[in-house]
Amino acid sequence: MESKRQQKFAGVIQQDLAEIFQREGMSFLPNMLVTITKVRMTPDLAIARVFLSFFNSQDAALALSTIKAHSNEIRYKLGSRIRNQARVVPSLEFFIDDTSEYVNRMDQIFDKISKEPRQPDTEEE
């Protein structure tokens, strides 16, 4: 369970990272939209686990490795934005958020179930 402090700081990190990716993300990921879906902070606020979703991407793993390669640059830009709000700029760990894939897979399963013929109830009273 995250504390209010962790949640509040995660919101600040998420908002600032979103602006960084929106304005400067095209330099290392051209023609791709990166969405920060969730940020989780460790209790000491030293590590930010950032979950990303990629749109217009053929290979999300390649996009993630590109972002990880630029993580020091991203952390530096984040630090310049939050320097008055945080004592220490957290280390950034990036992960692929597969929630949308999970939702799509569940939708397919439910569609498949709804198309199957219903079996009559066999309850005897």
> Could you report the per-residue pLDDT of 13-58, keeping only the tens digit for each?
999 999 999 888 888 888 888 889 999 999 999 999 999 988 887 8
pLDDT of residue 57: 79
pLDDT of residue 32: 85
Total domains, the chain: 1
The CATH number of whichever domain residue 20 belongs to comes to: 3.30.300.20
Q: Assess if residue 123 is contained within a domain.
A: no
Q: Assess if residue 99 is contained within a domain.
A: yes
Lowest mean pLDDT among 76-80, 90-94, 114-118: 114-118
What's the domain range around 104? 4-115
**Continuous H helices in 1-125:** 4-24, 60-69, 71-82, 99-115
Q: Assess if residue 81 is contained within a domain.
A: yes
Q: Assess if residue 90 is contained within a domain.
A: yes
Q: Assess if residue 125 is contained within a domain.
A: no
Q: Assess if residue 100 is contained within a domain.
A: yes
Q: Assess if residue 121 is contained within a domain.
A: no
pLDDT of residue 102: 77
Total-model pTM: 0.78
